[in-house]
């Protein structure tokens, strides 16, 4: 039926350390995840090589979920800018789905601090490169809904707020 959405694709948007995976885990959500694919395909979730395989596999898994009629699919990846996000709009349109965003609007310093405490931190120069690439999701890209998850101030982890 034209115009009627079959469901939605929900893109996380946020820097490393902005809390994307934690947000999903706390809600018992199993997103499609580039880090999980890196682990499965490259044995290392921090390995940034073979991007074409990683993102190609992500898109293929998404397409299969949509073909199977899954109503909601979450994507856990940084999805930093419109160029990275555009393929998901193309797929959504083809299969008749809406696209939503959850923007993890967390100050760069907090992302860096959380990143440093992780077992395999993203190198600081890569954090800076990614921060420059980050463009918040905008309705003009085609999102039917944009949610924002904020972390209040430069305080301790315990003071962070999750929506």
Judged by CB under 6 A, how many residues of this single chain contact ligand ATP?
17
- Within 105-144, which residues bind ligand ATP (CB under 6 A)? 114, 117-118
Residue closer to Mg ion, measured from CB, 74 or 143: 74
Check binding of 115 to Mg ion (CB under 5 A).
no
| CB of 72 vs ligand ATP, minimal distance in Å | 19
| CB of 82 vs Mg ion, minimal distance in Å | 21
| CB of 88 vs ligand ATP, minimal distance in Å | 17
Residue closer to ligand ATP, measured from CB, 5 or 22: 22
Residue closer to ligand ATP, measured from CB, 62 or 127: 127
Instruction: Report the residue from 62, 78, 99, 103 that binds ligand ATP according to the rule CB under 6 A.
Output: 78
**Part of the chain binding Mg ion (CB under 5 A), chosen from 16-24, 62-70, 135-143, 148-156:** 16-24
* Crossing angle (nearest 10°) for helices 34-42 and 51-67: 120
């Amino acid at each position: 039926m034209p115009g009627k959405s079959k469901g939605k694709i929900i893109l996380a948007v946020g820097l490393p350390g902005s809390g994307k995976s934690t947000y999903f885990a706390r809600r018992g959500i199993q997103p499609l995840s580039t880090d999980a694919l890196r682990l499965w395909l490259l044995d290392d979730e921090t390995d940034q090589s073979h991007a074409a395989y990683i993102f190609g596999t992500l898109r293929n898994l998404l397409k299969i979920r949509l073909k199977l009629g899954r109503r909601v699919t979450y994507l856990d990846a940084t999805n930093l800018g419109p160029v990275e996000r555009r393929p998901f709009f193309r797929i959504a349109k083809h299969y008749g789905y809406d696209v939503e965003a959850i923007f993890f609007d967390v100050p760069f310093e907090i992302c860096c601090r959380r990143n440093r405490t992780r077992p395999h931190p993203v190198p600081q120069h890569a954090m800076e490169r990614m921060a420059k690439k980050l463009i918040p999701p905008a309705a003009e890209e085609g999102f039917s809904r944009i949610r924002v998850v904020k972390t209040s101030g430069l305080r301790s982890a315990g003071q962070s707020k999750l929506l």
